[in-house]
């Protein structure tokens, strides 16, 4: 079994999907605790609210208030550790498609509400 230092090898590491599309960084790690076994990584979290919790509770409250104008379906995205395919010095590769996750909510919204209305912004049919 390979050992990881969570602070060095996981936290704030760049995430890429199965097609090598960047989808943010790991902002939090969720551990599974058991009385008869060492802690193990269950999943990790992405999102500004997770990062805000690490910085200051008041920042979290402000972001929760601002979230009412967000297009994101969820403020925090949870990714199961079982989706991890590879851990390198530069990134963590996942077995999921980033475009099907909340990580791309803003990109989808911008595409439909801004880019599509620009000259040349509509896809050719």
Residue 29 lies in a domain: yes
Residue 122 lies in a domain: no
- pLDDT digit string, tens, across residues 54-102: 888 788 777 777 767 666 666 688 899 999 999 998 999 999 998 888 7
For residue 36, the domain's CATH number is 2.30.30.240
pTM assigned to the model: 0.69
Please provide the distance, in angstroms rounded to a whole number, between the alpha carbons at the two ends of the chain. 50
Residue 91 lies in a domain: yes
Cβ atoms 11, 26 nearer than 8 A: yes
How many domains does the chain contain in total? Answer: 1
Report which of 107, 103, 104 is spatially closest to residue 44, judged by C-alpha positions.
103
Residue ranges making up the domain that contains 96: 6-117
Provide the 10 A C-beta neighbour count for residue 91. Answer: 15
- pLDDT digit string, tens, across residues 33-59: 999 998 888 999 988 778 778 888 788
CA distance 62 to 33: 31
């Amino acid at each position: 079994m390979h050992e990881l230092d969570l602070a060095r090898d996981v936290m704030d590491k760049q995430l890429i999907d199965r097609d090598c599309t960047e989808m943010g960084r790991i902002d939090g790690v969720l551990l599974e605790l058991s009385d008869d076994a060492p802690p193990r990584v269950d999943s990790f979290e992405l999102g500004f609210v997770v990062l805000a919790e690490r910085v200051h509770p008041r920042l979290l409250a402000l972001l929760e208030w601002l979230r009412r104008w967000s297009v994101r379906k969820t403020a925090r995205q949870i990714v199961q550790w079982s989706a991890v395919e590879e851990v390198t010095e530069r990134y963590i590769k996942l077995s999921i498609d980033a475009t099907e996750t909340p990580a791309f909510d803003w990109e989808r919204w911008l595409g439909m509400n801004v880019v599509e209305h620009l000259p040349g912004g509509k896809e050719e049919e």
